[in-house]
Amino acid sequence: YFIPPEQLTESEAVVTGDDAHHIANVMRARTGDTIIISNGDNREVLAKLGHISKDRVVAAVVEPLPMLAEPAIRVTIAQSLPKGDKLETVIQKGTEIGAVRFLPFVSERTVVQYDAKKESKRLERWHKIAKEAAEQAHRNRIPAVEPPCSWKQLLQSAREADKAFFCYEKEEGTMLKQAALQAIAERGGTAGMNVMLIVGPEGGFTEREAAEAEAAGCVCVKLGRRILRTETAGMVGLTCLLYEAGEMG
Ligand code: SAM
């Protein structure tokens, strides 16, 4: 279970809210059972349950646990806002596979409107999906979900990454695999490497966007000879990157 950092001290973990309900009523845990608790960032422990009620569970810290589930390579999925609830699928599956951050953005052919004032509820929901997917996948950290940004802000974030791959359906030459292997070799390994995968909306990217992305230092790549749906492309790219980085398979 991921709990707020202030609820995990040296000796004790306090679980509240839905997670307490889950422990008490869904898992039907008993005093003396052990659970794994993480502060969602840099500390994970084995803890023994003491007091259990449906809205508050207290557990004694038994021992620290090594944090082995996080990939050495840190992949951000920058996803052009898709229609409906497809971004929820991207966050859920991307978290299971191993992305560390999701950055939705608005591009020329983005169809949905995003109104930051009205949509804080949606952002909250995206955070909840990331947390639950991280728990189910036994991740050590909860991936970050950023509020949607503009195309200009996206290009700035791409410049700040160690490498940004622009998934472009019209790219003829470079495959993600070869570009990824080259980037890893140039950097001398994957430890702490920040990589961004940029995925377009249902209608794809415009040529102007591809040119601007290249000018910002992104590498245009293709993900194979088939055109993938927007919610599939990031998952395929992420899996390919983690595979080439020796994180799966
Ligand atoms: N019309 C479909 C849909 O509604 O989802 C396909 C959309 S595809 C054009 C959306 C994005 O996925 C593209 O802009 C690109 O970023 C990525 N993509 C899909 N297939 C790709 C491929 N073979 N190579 C590189 N990127 C791809």
ipTM: 0.98
- Helix count (H) and strand count (E) of the chain? 7, 10
CB distance 165 to ligand 1 below 6 Å = no
| Spacing, Cα 158 to ligand 1 middle (Å) | 19
Cα(147)–Cα(89) distance, rounded to whole angstroms? Answer: 16
| Mean pLDDT value of segment 12-28 | 95
| Spacing, Cα 109 to ligand 1 middle (Å) | 12
| Mean pLDDT value of segment 70-90 | 96
Q: How far is CA 189 from CA 185, 239, 245, in A?
A: 6, 18, 8
The closest-lying atom of ligand 1 relative to the alpha carbon of residue 226 is 23
CB distance 219 to ligand 1 below 6 Å = no
Identify the residue whose tokens are 């699928």: 89
Cα(89)–Cα(86) distance, rounded to whole angstroms? Answer: 5
* This prediction's pTM: 0.92
Cα(229)–Cα(148) distance, rounded to whole angstroms? Answer: 20
| Sheet-wide strand order for 34-38 | 12-16, 56-64, 44-53, 34-38
CB distance 202 to ligand 1 below 6 Å = yes
CB distance 82 to ligand 1 below 6 Å = no
